[in-house]
Amino acid sequence: MKLSRGKAIIDIEGTFVNIYNSFVLKGEIFMNSLKGRVAIVTGASRGVGKGVALGLAEYGATVYITGRTEDGKELPHFLKDTNIYKTSEEVTKLGGVGVPHKCDHSKDEEVELLFKRVIEEQGRLDILVNNAWGGGIHAMQEYFFNTPFWKQPVSLWDDNFTVGVRSNYVASSFAAEIMMKQKCGLIVNISFYGGRRYMNNVTYGVCKAAVDRLSADTAYELKDYGVPVFSLYPGQVSTEGMIEYAKYDSNIDLGKMESPQFVGRCVAALANNENAIIDTGKVLITGEVAERYGFTDIDGKQPKSLRSELW
């Protein structure tokens, strides 16, 4: 079994760094186990949130899976089998410990109860991934794309920011109270390229830009406590919805997409890096994180960064 030290590379901000003496095994990052580490992943009933939970589960983490969906009977047919309990079961099957927790992230009192539960049951919190997004109910409407902002409902703004920006701030506040006392932890805000360039609509872009600024400024205030914060940009992801849409649109190439679980592997890599604080506050891209830490997607492919196309 051959192990080698990580090599010096150029990071995504163009700075000359090394891979913090990570060990690489046959192209895969030789991670320390996340067994005993505790994570909260918001909006993890399906999609990227579920994938993050599964990626952390691969390394043995205990994952609190939040969401509103306990029974998907009222959802579209391709989402009926998605809920917090299904995700929890899959987390446990992969070697982690899945803990479902129903939570509406637009309600601060429910979020507070979530964090109280975690501390009462685990005594610590190591990872928070803010993924919940309230814009999904709008994304399936025609006005979401190619419609000027003055013709879109104001509720699009409200829903994007209530669960997607404000909710990230609230959850991060509760997490920070815990992590600053521990002098360790990790907060990851799932964002996207709309924070850097026009994409979909005005509200979407402003929301993602706000998430990125939230990451940068919370990172600044948490740095002295040893708690790194990042915005993480996935590529095109083969979520349940994308798989369904591909049935009707031949232009959608699922083979070129990242799996949701790949995003989770990126979070796991960051959580296992004791020197992640060096890059705190930055926007990271999943494809570049994988290249930096030396791991692939679940199908063995190496997803590419979309920086050149979308940055």
Report d(CA 234, CA 243) in Å as an integer.
16
Q: Are strands 229-233 and 186-190 parallel, antiparallel or unpaired?
A: parallel
* 46 neighbors 82 (Cβ within 8 angstroms): yes
Task: Tell me which residue has tokens 């190619």.
Answer: 146
Say if residues 255 and 242 touch (Cβ distance below 8 Å): no
DSSP string across 160-226: HHIIIIIHHHHHHHHHHHHHHHHT--EEEEE--GGGTS--S-HHHHHHHHHHHHHHHHHHHHHGGGT
97 forms bridges with which residues in the sheet? 62
Is position 204 annotated as part of the catalytic site? Answer: yes
Q: Please identify which of the residues 59, 64, 193, 204 carries the catalytic annotation.
A: 204
> Cα dihedral sign for 3, 285, 230, 118?
negative
User: For the chain, percent helix, then strand, then coil, each to nearest 5?
Assistant: 45, 15, 40
Distance, CA of 235 to CA of 192 (rounded, Å): 8
Q: Could you tell me the end-to-end alpha-carbon distance of the chain, in angstroms, rounded to an integer?
A: 39
The closest of 283, 310, 295, 284 to 259, measured between CA atoms, is 295
* CA separation for the pair 24, 19 (Å, rounded): 10
93: enclosing H helix or E strand: helix 84-93
Query: In what order do the strands lie in the sheet containing 23-25?
Result: 4-5, 23-25, 28-29
Active-site positions read 204
